[in-house]
Amino acid sequence: MCGIAGLYLKSEALQSQLGHHLSGMLEQLSDRGPDSAGAAFYRDPAPAGSSKVVLYSDDPGYDWRGLAAELGLAFGEVDGPAMRATHAVFVVDADAFEVEEWLNQRRPELRVMSAGTTIEIFKQEGLPKLLIERFAIERLDGTHALGHTRMATESRVTTQHSHPFSTGLDLCLVHNGSLSNHNRLRQKLRREGIRFMTDNDTEVAAGYLTWRMREGASLEQALEGCLDDLDGFYTFAVGTVDGFAVLRDPIACKPAVMAENDDWVAMASEYRAISVLPGAEDAETWEPEPGRVYSWTTARAVA
């Protein structure tokens, strides 16, 4: 199974309630994915020239302040750590690529959950309720967010195996389904220099998108490439710096519903996750067609 939720706010007045509404959506999807839960929020942009990284350590006593001091020595100004449960958010006065590279070399024990200017990814094992409580998700503001509840089918249940997966700066992927050619594709992508942390199939799809866009494809082109290069079942939702995109495989075994009104655009695995949003009953609601890329950027629908 697995559950997906995406919410894009057109109304600025709703931005302070983004976390509240995404939490409501995730709780509705609890029984589609009780193994782990995660969310990606687009919020609180880093100042121009700076970047934001979210880091995870499985050591509860990790010396985040020590890391902040070292980051300060390497890059100058550092804001953080802003702690959310096991995750630490840092804003660093440097390019995100440089910061990620530095972290990979100096602190290989850490996992970079997300990197970019606005994205913040939080995820862990267990029900969405637990994620919402421990990470205070309800209080997060922002312009848009994606969420996921996982029912594991092909790899272990850990924080690293949870969704969303980062697919590059300010990009992330959530997935409902399973891929059958991920092993071979992972080998190919490794040769192209894409790094993988787990044996998870969705991470390969995320790596595939990263690779295609690194080679010059637009997000839409990279998603269309999935139709040819990925074998398996999927409904994907991809978060971008200014919106989100949705793709279902051509057979469309995995569900998806979309809805839109004057205040928001939402997608979810099931309507019940949309039903908790204000005005859902009267929103235009439809099922995205298989094999077609839908994307929203800054309140404009490009289908």
Partner 1 sequence: MATDVATEALVVDLATESVRELNQRLHDQGVPHSVRILNPGGKHAIAVGIDQPLEVEIAGHVGYYCAGMNKQATVIIHGSAGTGVAENMMSGFVHVMGDASQSAGATGRGGLLRIDGNASSRCGISMKGIDIVVRGSVGHMSAFMAQAGNLVVFGDAGDALGDSIYEARLFVRGSVKSLGADCIEKPMEDKHKQALHELLGRAGMNGQIDVSEFRRYGSARKLYNFHVDHAGAY
Minimum CB separation of residue 197 from partner 1 in Å reads 34
DSSP 270: S
Integer-rounded Cα Rg, in Å, for the chain is 18
- Amino acid letter, residue 179: L
For partner 1, give the closer residue by CB, 71 or 246.
246
**Residue 236 CB, nearest distance to partner 1 (Å)?**
18
| CA–centroid distance for 92 within its chain | 21
Report, in Å, the least distance between residue 275 CB and partner 1: 4
Q: Is the dihedral of CA 97, 101, 102, 104 positive or negative?
A: positive
Q: Which is nearer to partner 1, 58 or 287 (CB)?
A: 287
Q: Give least dist CB 230 to partner 1, A.
A: 19
User: Residue 291 Cβ, how far from partner 1 at the closest point, in Å?
Assistant: 9
SS3 288: coil
Task: Give the separation between CA 169 and CA 11, rounded to whole angstroms.
Answer: 25
DSSP per residue, 69-82: HHHHHHHS-EEEEE
Which residue lies nearer to partner 1 by CB, 256 or 293?
A: 256
What tokens were used for 296?
Answer: 């929203």
Angle 163-161-144 from CA coordinates, rounded to 5°: 15
Q: Considering beta carbons, is residue 74 or 252 the nearer one to partner 1?
A: 252
Euclidean distance between CA atoms 155 and 157, whole angstroms:
7
Nearer to partner 1, 74 or 257 (CB): 257
Question: 2, 172, 226, 253: which is the annotated catalytic residue?
Answer: 2
Residue 253 falls in the annotated catalytic set = no
Neighbours of 299 (CB within 10 A): 15
Residues lying near partner 1 in the complex (CB under 8 A) are found at 28, 252, 255, 257, 270-276, 281, 285-287, 289-290
Active site residues: 2
